[in-house]
């Protein structure tokens, strides 16, 4: 069962809605969630005094104390495994994994316990845990700091996966995920955390869209781009560039990666007849393959071209001097749009 929608936290009428980056919006969301529910805990490496390596938990330990913001021992299996126990005991842990590539010591606990406890206990045990994972490339980092492991988890039933691409979603989706009674893996586009140009006004009194729903960000007629997380910006930029050359592209932000909400995508493809799925993750056995499979099944007679994909390659993430080649960019997206249009 989905939890009730987020209740607007009380604010004094004089506080104007702030302009926030994605990183700050996540920080505000955590604060709001901790204020709203004393059972919400934050757990992770360096999340206390340091505020996390990306400062997403900045100031929270100072204000909520060491018992609610836990600088844990350095062990991801421990973070997830103990969070599960805490959840069984009635807490709502929000775990921070420092970087995408470091989730794997916790993989067993996520796949074997977190995902399955509700099913195994015939619904008697709920594990309302959020695992926040900064993901994706483009930050010029060393190995294991730029990966997109979402498909490894979307293949696991029992987990919900979401990804935000803008500050307003970051603010609401994280709070909604914390209120959700299912485990939610929350993928954060780390390269956009502190991008000033993406700042948005976040109104804590607004009412958010549902968490597990895709959203059409830009409507168009010639082809549809479906994507999520960091690639949303790439696709929006591609749509703007295409528009200048007279090609109208529709852009859909998936937001929920598992379970997928593909109805808006089907609807879009029935209109445009062409779909390009864009993601930084390797293509083999991925979310984009899943989307392609379902769209060809649901929209077979509407398709004017096969579903095409722009993704990372089927290789390990390369040394980051090469990441601009590896990551889907404007040129590759537009090139693929051309292929779809001239199929």
Partner 1 sequence: MSSPEQWTHPQPGDSSAATAAKPTPEQVIAGLRATSEGGADLVQLLTPEGERVDSPEFDRYVTDIDGARLRSLFRDMTLVRRFDREANALQRQGQLGIWVPLLGQEAAQIGAGRALRPMDMAFPSYREHGVAWCRNVSPQDLLGIFRCSDHSGWDPVAARFHPYTIVIGNQVLNAAGYAMGQRFDGHVGDDDGEATICFFGDGATSQGDVHEGFVWAAVYDAPLVFFCQNNQWAISEPTERQSRLPLYQRAQGYGFPGIRVDGNDVLACLAVTRWALDECRTGNGPMLIEAFTYRMDAHTTTDDPTRYRLSDELEAWKLKDPIERVRAYLSRNGLADNDFFEEIAAEADNFAAEIRDFCVNMPDPPPDRIFSEVYAEPSPVLEAQRAEYLSYLDGFVGAGER
Ligand X SMILES: Cc1ncc(C[n+]2csc(CCOP(=O)(O)OP(=O)(O)O)c2C)c(N)n1
Contact predicate 49/61, CB 8 Å: yes
| 72 contact choice in ligand X, partner 1, none (CB below 5 to 8 Å, kind-dependent) | partner 1
As a three-state string, the secondary structure of the chain is CCCCCCCCCCCCCCCCCCEECHHHHHHHHHHHHHHHCCCEEEEECCCCCCCCCCCCCCCHHHHHCCCCEEECCCCHHHHHHHHHHHHHCCCEEEEECCCHHHCHHHHHHHHHHHCCHHHHCCCCCCCCCEEEEEECCCCCCCCCCCCCCHHHHHCCCCCEEEECCCHHHHHHHHHHHHHCCCCEEEEEEHHHCCCHHHCEECCCCCCCCCCCCCEEEECCCCEEEEECCCHHHHHHHHHHHHHHCCCCEEEEECCEEECECCHHHHHHHHHHCCEEEEEEEECCCCHHHHHHHHHHHHCHHHCCCCCEEEEECCCCCCCHHHHHHHCCCHHHHHHHHHHHHCC
**Interhelix angle 330-341/231-244, nearest 10 degrees:** 60
Closer CB to partner 1, 89 or 321, in the complex: 321
Q: Which of 221, 285, 316, 338 binds partner 1 (CB under 8 A)?
A: 316
Site for partner 1 in 275-304 (CB under 8 A): none
**Binding flag, residue 280, ligand X (CB under 6 A):** no
Q: Is 46 in the site for partner 1 (CB under 8 A)?
A: yes
CB of 215 to partner 1, least distance (A): 31
Q: Any contact of residue 49 with partner 1 (CB under 8 A)?
A: yes
Site for ligand X, residues 62 to 101, rule: CB under 6 A = 74, 76, 98
Smallest separation (angstroms) from ligand X to the CB of 45: 5
Binding-site size, partner 1 (CB under 8 A): 37
Contact status: 153 vs partner 1 (CB under 8 A)? no
CB closer to partner 1, 172 vs 326: 326
DSSP-derived pairing of the beta strands 184-189 and 130-135: parallel
Whole-number minimum distance, CB 253 to partner 1, in Å? 26
Under the criterion CB under 8 A, does residue 71 sit at the interface with partner 1?
A: yes
**Shorter beta-carbon distance to ligand X: residue 105 or 306:** 105
In this complex, which beta carbon is closest to ligand X, that of residue 171 or of residue 187? 187
Query: What is the C-alpha to C-alpha distance for residues 39 and 33, in angstroms, rounded to an integer?
Result: 10
Residue 155 annotated among the catalytic residues of the structure: no
The residue at minimum Cβ distance from ligand X is 102
Under rule CB under 6 A, which residues in 31-60 are in contact with ligand X?
A: 45
**Active-site choice (28, 145, 155, 194):** 145
Q: What residues from 105 to 134 belong to the interface with ligand X (CB under 6 A)?
A: 105
208 near partner 1, judged by CB under 8 A: no
Provide the β-strand partners of residue 163.
187
Number of C-beta neighbours around residue 275 at 10 A: 29
Residues 228-257 that bind ligand X (CB under 6 A): none
Q: Using CB distances below 5 to 8 A depending on partner kind, what does residue 71 bind out of partner 1, ligand X, none? A: partner 1
List binders of partner 1 among 72-91 (CB under 8 A): 72-75, 77-78
Least distance from ligand X to the Cβ atom of residue 79, Å? 9
Q: Which residues are catalytic?
A: 145
Q: Which chain residues interact with ligand X by CB under 6 A?
A: 45, 74, 76, 98, 102, 105
- Interface with partner 1 by CB under 8 A: which residues? 45-46, 48-51, 53, 71-75, 77-78, 101-102, 104-105, 140-144, 313-316, 318-322, 325-326, 331-332, 335
């Amino acid at each position: 069962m989905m939890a009730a929608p987020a209740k607007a936290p009380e604010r004094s009428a004089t506080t104007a809605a702030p302009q926030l980056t994605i990183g700050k919006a996540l920080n505000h969301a955590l604060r709001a969630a901790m204020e709203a529910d004393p059972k919400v805990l934050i757990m992770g490496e360096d999340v206390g005094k340091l505020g996390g390596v990306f400062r997403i938990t900045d100031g929270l330990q100072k204000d909520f104390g060491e018992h609610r913001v836990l600088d844990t021992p350095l062990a991801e299996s421990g973070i997830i495994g103990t969070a599960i126990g805490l959840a069984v005991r009635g807490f709502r842990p929000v775990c921070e994994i420092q970087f995408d590539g470091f989730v794997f010591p916790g993989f067993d606990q996520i796949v074997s316990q977190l995902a399955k406890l509700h099913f195994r206990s015939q619904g008697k045990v709920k594990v309302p845990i959020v695992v926040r994972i900064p993901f994706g490339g483009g930050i010029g980092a060393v190995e294991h700091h730029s990966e997109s492991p979402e498909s490894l988890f979307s293949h696991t039933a029992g987990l919900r996966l979401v990804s935000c691409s803008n500050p307003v979603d970051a603010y609401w989706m994280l709070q909604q995920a914390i209120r959700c009674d299912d485990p939610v893996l929350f993928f954060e586009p780390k390269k956009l955390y502190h991008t000033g140009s993406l700042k948005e006004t976040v109104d804590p009194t607004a009412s958010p869209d549902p968490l597990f729903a895709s959203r059409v960000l830009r409507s168009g007629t010639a082809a549809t781009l479906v994507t999520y997380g960091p690639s949303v910006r790439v696709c929006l930029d591609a749509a703007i560039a295409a528009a200048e050359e007279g090609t109208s592209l529709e852009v859909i932000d998936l937001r929920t990666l598992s379970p997928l909400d593909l109805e808006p995508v089907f609807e879009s493809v029935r209109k445009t007849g062409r779909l390009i799925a864009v993601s930084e993750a390797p293509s083999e056995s991925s979310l984009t393959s899943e989307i392609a499979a379902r769209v060809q099944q649901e929209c077979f007679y509407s398709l004017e071209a096969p579903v095409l994909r722009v993704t990372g390659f089927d290789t390990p993430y390369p040394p980051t001097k090469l990441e601009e080649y590896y990551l889907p960019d404007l040129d590759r997206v537009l090139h693929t749009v051309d292929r779809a249009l001239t199929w």
